[in-house]
Amino acid sequence: MSEKIDSLEITTNHATGYSSNGGYFSRMVDSFKPMEVVSEDDSTLDLVTKGVHGTANQPLVRDLKNRHVQMIAIGGSIGTGLFIGSGYALSVGGPAAVLISYVLAGYAIFCMVMALGELSVQFPISGSFNAFFSRFVDPTVGFTLGLMYALSWLISFPSELIAAAMTIQYWNQSIDPALWVAILFVLIIGINFFGVRGFGEAEFWLSLIKVIAVIGFIILGICITCGVGSQGYIGGKYWHNPGAFNGGLKGVCNAFVSAAFSFGGVELVALAAAETENPRKSLPKATKQVFWRIFIFYICTAIVIGCLVPYTNEQLLNGSGITASPFVIAVQNGGIKVVPHIMNAVILVAVISLGNSSVYGCSRSLASMAAQGLLPSWFGYIDRKGRPLVSIGFISAFGLLGFLVDSTKESVVFTWLFALCSVATFIIWGTVCVVHIRWRAALKAQGRSTDEIIFVSPMGLFGSYSGALVCFLMMIGEIWIALFPHGSADVNNFFQLCLSIPIMIVMYVGHKTYTRSWNRFIIKLEDIDLDTGRREVDIDLLRQELEELKLAYKEKPIWKKLLQILF
Domain ranges of the chain: 1-39, 40-536
How far apart CA 365 and CA 131 sit, in angstroms, is 9
**Prediction pTM value:** 0.87
How far apart CA 401 and CA 219 sit, in angstroms, is 38
Question: Buried b / exposed e across 399-428, counting CB within 10 Å, b at 16+?
Answer: bebbbbbeeeebeeebeebbbbbbbbbbbb
Please state the three-class secondary structure of 154-219 as a single string: HHHHHHHHHHHHHHHCCCCCCCCHHHHHHHHHHHHHHHHCCHHHHHHHHHHHHHHHHHHHHHHHHH
Cα–Cα distances in angstroms (integers) from residue 499 to residues 92, 112, 416, in the given order:
21, 24, 8
How far apart CA 141 and CA 504 sit, in angstroms, is 10
> Reduced to 3 states, what is the DSSP secondary structure of residue 407?
coil
**CATH number assigned to the domain with residue range 40-536, chosen from the 4 options 2.60.120.260, 1.20.1740.10, 1.20.120.1730, 1.10.1060.10:** 1.20.1740.10
How far apart CA 294 and CA 73 sit, in angstroms, is 11
For the chain, 567 residues long, give each residue's pLDDT as a single digit of tens: 333 333 334 334 434 444 445 566 777 766 767 766 555 555 566 778 777 877 777 777 878 888 888 777 777 667 777 887 788 888 888 999 999 999 998 899 889 999 998 998 888 887 778 889 999 999 999 999 999 999 989 988 988 888 888 888 878 888 888 999 999 999 999 998 888 888 889 888 988 888 888 888 889 889 988 988 778 888 888 999 898 998 888 888 888 877 877 787 788 888 887 788 888 778 887 777 777 778 888 888 889 999 999 998 888 877 666 677 888 888 888 877 777 788 888 888 888 888 888 999 899 999 989 888 899 988 988 888 888 899 999 999 999 988 888 877 777 777 777 777 778 888 999 999 999 999 999 999 999 888 888 888 888 999 999 999 999 999 998 899 888 887 777 888 888 888 888 999 999 999 999 999 898 889 999 999 888 887 665 666 666 666 766 677 677 777 666 666 555
User: Cis bond leading into 242, ω under 30°?
Assistant: yes
